[in-house]
Amino acid sequence: MSDPISVAVIGGGAAGMMAAIAAAEAGASVTVYEPNAVLGKKLRLTGKGRCNVTNDCTPAEIMDAVTKNPKFLRGALYRFTPADTMSFFEEAGVPLKTERGRRVFPVSDRAADISSAMEKRMHALGVTVVHEAVSDLIFTGEGECRTVSGVTTDSGAHAHGAVIVATGGVSYPGTGSRGDGYRLAKSAGLAVTETLPSLVPIVTKEDFAPLAGLSLRNVTLTVLQGGKTVFSEMGEMLFTHFGVSGPLVLSASAHMRGAMHNYKMEIDLKPALDDATLDARLLADLSQYAQRDFVNALGDLLPQKLIDPVIVHAQIPERIKAGTLTRVQRMALLRTLKHFPLTPLRFRPINEAIVTSGGVDVAELHTKTMMAKRCPGLFFAGEVIDVDAYTGGYNLQIAFSTGVAAGQSAAAYADEISHPKGSTDI
């Protein structure tokens, strides 16, 4: 009999582990090359250690949440859907729960349970893990006829029938995501698009240091570019010493490309109230606390830390009596509550981003298999590809779906070159 087909997976994160599992389930002999001492290092940090493993929605809805190259993902997302992801982990012994926004988490709120379940499945399938970094790809042939035939590590050259690159992007470099996959792709002659931070906190012109740590829930954050709304969503956000962060801000950042001065941001602090209803509420509060200084009359309406910034922007003297506010002043307060302004200056560094925008150009890859069009035997999965999405479990679903597509396809490719049609095993 011939030797088992051999697939190498470079990277032991979410996409890499899922690719290894898919390839092994398809009959391949799989080796994962991961320089970290533990697998899933970044995965264990996701969702603040809780791991938003997917989103309980359809593949089409996942595509709607993808900000770059959504159509490229169609085949992979329908091949391995969010429902498939949930079934995989439930069957692996990790009960799941669905929270606000259809975000799916392990019931234990432990990201380590997700990573451990994948490791156990790999072990059960006989996947070999080598804790070494891959320095180079091995090619056979020349020019446009080159194919990938293995990898090189510190311990030498290792032959494989197919190679899957799942090294992540350049965000969270402390977890080992340092852009190695881009270098390997370029060595194969593939185009790599510019890498930028996505799902990243934003530095603002306004000094929000006095508000640092203040979390706002059920507010609407809107991003405008040239007067046109490019993002508007209700949810949660956070003030920090440098500006703003939190789920809403991270999602908004994915829509902000190019010069930051082209964008304006505003918060609707009372999205559940239309202007007329909010005005009635203001009249009631101002009447109730008519004899108080204005600054002391807003405690029922706003968090204490936010009162001063709102008053300053509304340009209302803080020591006038609440009952003496004119209609013009009340309308200024209403506008401030519905359109509290933020001036974005820049993104925080890419090493603080949740994901990397940019990567291996999708035009270089077959959409169904994730194999490089110009380099047979070389596959890609996960964040190393130029696709990214909002927060909410979408990016991990992309990792799992592209991992399955690459793993199954790499196993089939390696099997074909090991057992060409017409050959007979002895």
DSSP per-residue codes, 117-138: HHHHHHHHTT-EEE---EEEEE
Terminal C-alpha separation, the chain: 5
Regions in the chain scoring below 50 on pLDDT: 1-2, 423-426
pLDDT at residue number 174: 57
pLDDT at residue number 351: 79
Taking the model in full, what pTM does it have?
0.83
Residue ranges of the alpha helices (H) in 66-194? 74-79, 82-91, 111-124, 180-187
pLDDT at residue number 422: 53
pLDDT at residue number 2: 38
**Per-residue pLDDT tens for 177-235?**
678 999 999 999 999 999 888 889 999 999 999 999 999 999 999 999 988 999 999 99
Q: Which domains does the chain have, with CATH numbers?
A: 6-195+349-418 (3.50.50.60), 202-347 (no CATH)
- Cα–Cα distances in angstroms (integers) from residue 52 to residues 56, 303, 394, in the given order: 11, 29, 9
Element (H, E) at 250: helix 247-253
Q: Residue 212 is encoded by which pair of tokens?
A: 């640092």
Q: CA nearest 104: which of 43, 42, 53, 47?
A: 53
Please classify residue 360 by burial: count the beta carbons closer than 10 Å to its beta carbon, then call 0-12 exposed, 13-18 middle and 19+ buried.
buried
Q: Residue 177 is encoded by which pair of tokens?
A: 């995501």
pLDDT at residue number 184: 97
Cα–Cα distance for residue pair 266/359, rounded to 1 Å: 31
pLDDT at residue number 410: 98
pLDDT at residue number 198: 83
Q: CA nearest 192: which of 35, 365, 370, 396?
A: 365
pLDDT at residue number 326: 96
